[in-house]
Amino acid sequence: MVPWWLLAIAVFGANFALWGVIGLLRLLDSSAQRWRDRRSAGDSVVDLNRFQGGLDVDDVAVLIPAHNEEAVIVDSIAAITALVPAENVHVVSDGSTDRTVELARECGVQVISTARNVGKAGALKEAIRRFALVERYPVVMLLDADTHVQPGDFDAALRLFDDPEVVAVAGCVKTTWRGRGLGAIGKLVAFHRQRIYTMTQYLLKFGQTWRRTNATHIVPGFASLYRTEVLPRIEVNPPGLVIEDFNMTFEVYQKQLGKVGFTPAAVAATQDPGTLKDYVKQCKRWALGLWQTVRLHPPRANLFTAMLALLLLEMLTSSVLLVVLPVVLVALLLPALLPGLLDVPVLGEAHQFVSGFATPSALLFGVLIPDLALTCIVALLQRQPRYLLVGLLFLPLRVLDAAIALYAIPGAWLTKSSGRWRSPDRHVVDQSA
């Protein structure tokens, strides 16, 4: 019989515990460092808004790849030009057939177009070259066309470049759901995605990007910052990959280009899929992109490979357990639902087999209650009590995520991707909401 605590570890993983503890150590280290800084300054007030390394928003080029983004491109440009000079903003239209180019030019930013749809990574590579960003700017922000960078993002993110070893900074993502006219399913998907973001960023990425143990598996491409000096050494668009951000992160670590920085204070809001169909399509694309990148980069004897191996092993284990969870639950509840079915040879044997290693109480204490506990933590951190109202619906969506993760694995070895993209349906956001 599998004890409930072992089931909880298998489903929710040791990664959260490991990197959560390291994240606490990072908090203690940061607090001690601030105390030492104040003491060395004679208890004078430290100006936390200055960039000790000399970087400010004038040093940042913003690069926005866009494919048929007329619904959101104007609002996104308005949000970013409120923080950086308009001449620093560069838009590359990747084969758009709508008014993306026209609207972007009306915003007063620099705009180019690719000759055809070459994919997001291909558009980024071409734009970096044609805009001469490496020669003109020390830092570039790669920004999705639906993303709104929040005030204070650059203050927090650029400060991380004070460490000369930091070559990339991952943004802290939050999902935009208000003002999009989402239905009940769309809001549930948005809440589920935000729950994932909160857990992975606070319990994984914060610890993974500590200066003493720096090894995170992704710098998300929705709002990421890179030192331009390392871009020529990163293969932005290798053939056969469906997305670029996993690969760019792997390149940073496997080529020993430097470290990745992350702070929860560098926030940007993005539009996650508003329908279950678009959500599934995006998850398939992300899962395929991860496994394609793993295939492309052979393992090496370093911390990043060890961290990645633990992450993938745990993801496989938890995905398999979550996928079989509904079957196990039905098999365990057969006597209570339809006692007569136990006389059917196959069903009776299935119940006997499953009940030999699992019980309803083990599923309750090992899966359901920990999942609800995570929802409570996220609701507290996000200050969103409404998450508690749909707390029981997040676990079925986790089962769906697990099925997609397993489904994508063979495709990484059996198929090649062009990288061409179709953005999910975007919605003009009602800012008054």
For residue 428, name the pLDDT band (cuts at 50, 70, 90): low
Domain parsing of the chain, residue ranges:
1-22+56-433
**Burial class of residue 112, CB neighbours in 10 A (0-12, 13-18, 19+):** middle
pTM of the entire predicted model: 0.90
pLDDT at 426: 66
Q: What are residue 142's DSSP bridge partners?
A: 63, 224
pLDDT at 425: 64
For residue 433, name the pLDDT band (cuts at 50, 70, 90): low
pLDDT at 348: 76
Sign of CA dihedral 223, 265, 271, 296: positive
Condensed to tens digits (0 to 9), the pLDDT of residues 182-240 reads: 899 999 999 999 999 999 999 899 999 999 999 999 999 999 999 999 999 999 999 99
For residue 17, name the pLDDT band (cuts at 50, 70, 90): confident
For residue 338, name the pLDDT band (cuts at 50, 70, 90): confident
Helix axes 394-414, 276-296, angle to 10 degrees: 40
Condensed to tens digits (0 to 9), the pLDDT of residues 34-59 reads: 888 788 776 554 444 444 457 999 99
pLDDT at 52: 46
Q: Is 132 helix (H, G, I), strand (E, B) or coil?
A: coil
How far apart (Å, rounded) are the C-alpha atoms in residues 259 and 203? 19
pLDDT at 250: 98
Which value, to the nearest 10 degrees, does the dihedral of the CA atoms of residues 323, 324, 326, 327 take? 150
How much of the chain, in percent, has pLDDT values that exceed 70? 93
**What is the rounded average pLDDT of the residues 387-399?**
95
pLDDT at 113: 96
Kindly report the average pLDDT of the chain as a whole number: 90
Q: Half-sphere exposure (CA, 13 Å, Cβ side) for 252?
A: 29
Distance of CA 265 to the CA centre of its chain: 16
Condensed to tens digits (0 to 9), the pLDDT of residues 156-177 reads: 999 999 999 999 999 999 998 8
pLDDT at 424: 62
Edge-first strand order for the sheet with 89-93 is 110-113, 89-93, 60-66, 139-143, 223-227, 166-175, 259-270, 148-149
pLDDT at 353: 80
For residue 11, name the pLDDT band (cuts at 50, 70, 90): confident
For residue 429, name the pLDDT band (cuts at 50, 70, 90): low
**What is the rounded average pLDDT of the residues 373-398?**
93
Condensed to tens digits (0 to 9), the pLDDT of residues 80-113 reads: 999 999 999 999 999 999 999 999 999 999 999 9
Termini Cα distance of the chain: 51
pLDDT at 49: 43
pLDDT at 80: 97
Lowest mean pLDDT among 176-180, 275-279, 312-316: 176-180
CATH fold label, 1-22+56-433:
Spore Coat Polysaccharide Biosynthesis Protein SpsA; Chain A (3.90.550)
Helix axes 4-12, 369-382, angle to 10 degrees: 50
Distances (CA, A) of 143 to 49, 154, 171, 276, 284: 23, 13, 10, 24, 21
Sign of CA dihedral 185, 191, 193, 196: negative
- Residue 103 has phi, psi (to 5 degrees) of -70, -40
Condensed to tens digits (0 to 9), the pLDDT of residues 115-150 reads: 999 999 999 999 999 999 999 999 999 999 999 999
Distances (CA, A) of 234 to 17, 264, 362: 32, 26, 47
pLDDT at 48: 42
pLDDT at 367: 92
